[in-house]
Amino acid sequence: LAAIKERYGGYRKVKGDGNCFIRGYLFGVLESLVKRGGGAEATGLIGRLSGYYFRMIDGVQGLGYSAGAIEDFHREMENVLKGIADGTMTIDMLETTINEAMVSNSLVFFCRMVASCHIQTHSQHFAPFLGLEGGEDKVRASLKEYCAKEVEPLEKEVEEMEVMALASAFDVGLRIEHMDASAGPVNHHDLPHGASPHVFMLYRPGHYDLIYPPQ
């Protein structure tokens, strides 16, 4: 912990309910955009996440999910990002929004669906994590089943594969500092690979919190 305190000047505790990574990363992304005046980036992220939404509901080349089951959650995310894009969203407003249970759960669920979509549409990259083999159709069916059981439900703990998928889907740099009970040095890794981090998180076994480098 001393090594973390030396390198970081701030800390934000994230609710520990199985969604701590998603909630923390999402807040970190949105907070970073507000602080940096990232209106153009927010607009770009709206387009990026809309692309995932349309892939989810495309029944021919996409995943064939029901639009009616997802569109409200997509709209909730879009509304928050539009507030950042047009400059009306403040940090205080963002905190209030994320702390409203219904809104927060809607945003978290949409993030889970984005992660699921990313995993399923990048099957060659993610299949080895689950030891999946066989033809492309078989692998995709297995990934779809895995995502339905382990990625999309709100109560499920987020695993490394989902962390990688969400950071890649959002394409907003993330640094995770890993801290355990050992006396060794604190290690970190950055996602997506090679990206400059805008969001910093501390991982202790079973939980993620946000940390902030000195200003």
Helices (H) and strands (E) in the chain, counts: 9, 5
Cβ distance 117 to 63 under 8 Å?
Answer: yes
Query: What pLDDT is attached to residue 181?
Result: 62
Domain spanning 21-171: which CATH class is it, in words?
mainly alpha
Q: Is the pLDDT of residue 182 over 70?
A: no
Task: Give the list of residues 6+ apart from residue 78 with CB closer than 8 angstroms, or none.
Answer: 46, 49, 50
Query: What pLDDT is attached to residue 112?
Result: 98
| Strand, helix or coil for residue 191 | strand
Q: Is the pLDDT of residue 195 over 70?
A: yes
| Strand, helix or coil for residue 134 | coil
Q: Is the pLDDT of residue 186 over 80?
A: no
110-148 confidence digits (pLDDT tens): 999 999 999 999 999 999 999 988 888 899 999 999 999
Domain residue ranges in the chain: 21-171
Q: Is the pLDDT of residue 98 over 90?
A: yes
Cβ distance 86 to 39 under 8 Å?
Answer: yes
Q: Mean of the pLDDT values across residues 63-83?
A: 96
Measured in degrees and rounded to the nearest 5, phi and psi for residue 42 equal: -65, -40
